[in-house]
Structure 1
Amino acid sequence: MASVRPRFSPPPPPKKKDLSLEEIQKKLEAAEERHKSHEAEVLKQLAEKEVLQKAIKENNNFSKMAEEKLTHKMEANKENREAQMAAKLERLREKDKHVEEVRRNKESKDPADETEAD
């Protein structure tokens, strides 16, 4: 007959010790503290995100206002330049008209002056 060796069995799991009321209270307080800490971190990140979004929004508004102001100024300059050009053209037309009128007057007077001189 072969000898039978006893099988090795793992040791039994350690028994959970009975927790006292004070230890349970400490664990609950630690869990509550972790929960509060996590919540505070989430709120902090949310506040930082809101601040960043507000800054981006204000920057975009500033850029938009600056662009609108520049566009308005450029349009006003264009209108002013066009008005100045129109005024110059009108003055040139008036000068040309005056020159032509003087020339016509001179031409109409010249033949009369020549006949009187004869």
Structure 2
Amino acid sequence: MTSSRSLRLPGRRRGRLALWLVVGLSVLFFLISPLIQLLAEWPWFSALGYERVFATRLIASLLLGIVAGGAAFALLYANLRFAQRGIVPNPVVMQMNAQTPAVDVTRLVRRLALPAA
């Protein structure tokens, strides 16, 4: 018979599962309101015979959002890279104790510029 201890997920895997659950719920939370609005407006435009106006409005909103989001991302990323270009002449390396490996903090900060943007 298996013990209850062997049925548990490892700590790292459980943390990833919780992270994906939080990300999924956040995406669902931010997408549900526009989706409900879209589903409410479509029958109204259809009843009036203005499906083409609805489609044009929807496409224009999507394109504007994509262009504005891309521009904001490009500006933030360029700003972060510009700010990091001369952080330190020598890399900052931290080691908590003798048993743990040293961590190059400068490289980590540079790698986090893309997700932070």
TM over 0.5, shorter chain: no
Q: Pick the structure with more helix per residue.
A: 1
- Which gives a bigger RCO, structure 1 or 2 (Cα 8 Å, sep 6+)? 2
Q: TM-score, normalised by structure 2?
A: 0.34
Q: TM-score, normalised by structure 1?
A: 0.34
